[in-house]
Amino acid sequence: MKEKKYFGTDGIRGEVGGKIMTAEFALKLGRAAGKVLGQLSPSNTIVIGKDTRISGYMFEAALEAGLSSAGVNSLMLGPMPTPAIAWMTSSMHASAGIVISASHNPYYDNGIKFFNHFGEKLSDEQELAIEAELDKEFTTVASEKLGKAKRIDDAAGRYIEFCKGVFPRQQSLAGLKIVVDCANGATYHIAPKVFIELGADVTVIGNKPDGLNINQDCGSTEPQILQEIVLETGADLGIALDGDGDRVLMVDHYGEVIDGDQLIFIVAKHFHKNKKLTGGVVGTLMSNQAMEVELANLGIPFLRANVGDRYVHQLLKKNNWHLGGESSGHILNLELATTGDGIVSALMVLVVMKNEGKKLKELAKEIPLYPQILINITIENAKEIAKHPDLITHAKCIDEQLGNKGRTLIRASGTQPMLRVMVEAQDENLAIQFANELKETVENL
């Protein structure tokens, strides 16, 4: 397959005003996406949503103009979680959906990602088709064929009702004290209402976005303040969403973080026990080895996809399974949503807690994770270094020493100029030692 010029693991992403993420590029991208995706449904309409970054205003206007020049209509949703845009794309029978977001990245980055008319991530072929269209001369359809733009004012309310609908009608969250961290991102006006309207006693943090504070000292990438507030308020648990709302991590009543692997296992075990698990579970190359071991003990098949929720989705569809995700908190249940959804995933775990009559801490204890040391090394030529023979040889040597008690993983980030070095081992000291050895090898290269 031809190598992509702009698209990474999850859409197109970069520093605002840098090589790619400019208003001019977004204008051209809007036209190219309109040409390729506009005809996926008879509506000839594409939904556009964004997170709370200040640059979202600029990219929203540029994309809308580009789509109009291609003769495609726009439905503007304003600040909305990524999974909400996927759901709205499908429910409104739109041709495609566009999300303006850089997910968990800081405010000075932004990105543009797409959903097809089913609310699913684009195929490689569709992304390559958009890139091919980008290389063509910018043209505009005749004036009478220009696309129109319309703002949808009740999008948040519609999505709140969808989220509440995945929670059993005969149950309630009454009696649960929850702290919700919205990461000053796209869920700030949605997540609190979902949990409050389902009956929980909710304390909210990270719900005052100013365009610059998204993911800053908050959310699923920095849950320290959430951990502190859970302890201070005596809450039963905390819920940490990321900037665009497609990830979730949780915090138990002791203030300890429960990651995506543990949350997936909790749900999978409950589904399996109640004969509601279709097939097995899909994780990624980064999924903790403990999950693979504990699922096998239950007789649940487990497969690893490449890192990225789109690859988890592809493997789930291929096997006709429904449940999977990443340790970072991207969790997919294809019976409920077409993409990772932080709010829906948190609700799944809360249902398990209610049905099992257990605290989050008790459920998480059933999967003791192997210590995992991850070192992120900022480097421009990460892809080349990841394939270097010296680094590969060193990693294989460590794998041989660890045997079945650990493993290494070296991969270039698909969204940032970064090489990720991971060592997992039952012995944490060994994991630290080997991770530092690999880091030194990278630095020498």
Within-domain flag for 162: no
Catalytic residue among 43, 55, 69, 103: 103
Q: Structural domain of residue 91, as residue ranges?
A: 12-154
**Do 409 and 286 share a domain, yes or no?**
no
Residues 273 and 331 in one domain: yes
Is residue 346, in this structure, part of any structural domain at all?
Answer: no
Predicted local distance difference test score (pLDDT) of residue 238: 98
For the stretch 130-163, pLDDT in tens is 999 999 999 999 999 999 999 999 999 999 999 9
The pLDDT, as a whole number, for residue 9 is: 81
Give pLDDT tens digits for 331-367: 999 999 999 999 999 999 999 999 999 999 999 999 9
* Average pLDDT in the chain: 95
Q: Over range 180-195, report the average pLDDT.
A: 98
Q: What is the pLDDT of residue 176?
A: 97
Evaluate whether residue 405 is within a structural domain. Answer: yes
Please say which residue of 210, 242, 257 terminates a domain.
257
- Structure confidence at residue 296 (pLDDT): 95
- Position 18 pLDDT exceeds 90: yes
Q: Is residue 165 part of a domain?
A: no
| Residue 159, domain member (yes or no) | no
Residue 193 confidence (pLDDT): 98
Q: Is 170 part of a structural domain of the chain?
A: no
Query: What's the average model confidence in pLDDT over 375-387?
Result: 88
- Three-state SS across the chain? CCCCCCCECCEEEEECCCCCCCHHHHHHHHHHHHHHHHHHCCCCEEEEEECCCCCHHHHHHHHHHHHHHCCCEEEEEEECCHHHHHHHHHHCCCCEEEEECCCCCCCCEEEEEEECCCCCECCHHHHHHHHHHHCCCCCCCCHHHCCCEEECCCHHHHHHHHHHHCCCCCCCCCCCEEEEECCCCCCCCCHHHHHHHCCCEEEEECCCCCCCCCCCCCCCCCCHHHHHHHHHHCCCEEEEECCCCCEEEEECCCCCEECHHHHHHHHHHHHHHCCCCCCCEEEECCCCHHHHHHHHHCCCCEEEECCCHHHHHHHHHHHCCCEEECCCCEEEECCCCCCCCHHHHHHHHHHHHHHHCCCHHHHHCCCCCCCEEEEEEECCCHHHHHCCHHHHHHHHHHHHHHHHHEEEEEEECCCCCEEEEEEEECCHHHHHHHHHHHHHHHHHC
- Among 154, 188, 211, identify where a domain stops: 154
Of all residues in the chain, the percent with pLDDT exceeding 70 is: 100
* pLDDT for res 219: 97
Q: How confident is the model over 79-89, as a mean pLDDT? A: 98
What value does the mean pLDDT take over residues 433-439?
92
CATH number of the domain enclosing 238:
3.40.120.10
pLDDT of residue 416: 77
Whether 237 and 280 map to the same domain: the answer is: no
Q: What pLDDT, in 10s, does the model give residues 240-293?
A: 999 999 999 999 999 999 999 999 999 999 999 999 999 999 999 989 999 999
Domain boundary, last residue among 215, 230, 257: 257
Q: What is the pLDDT of residue 308?
A: 87
To the query of whether residue 103 is one of the catalytic residues in this protein, the response is yes
Same domain for 212 and 91, yes or no, is no
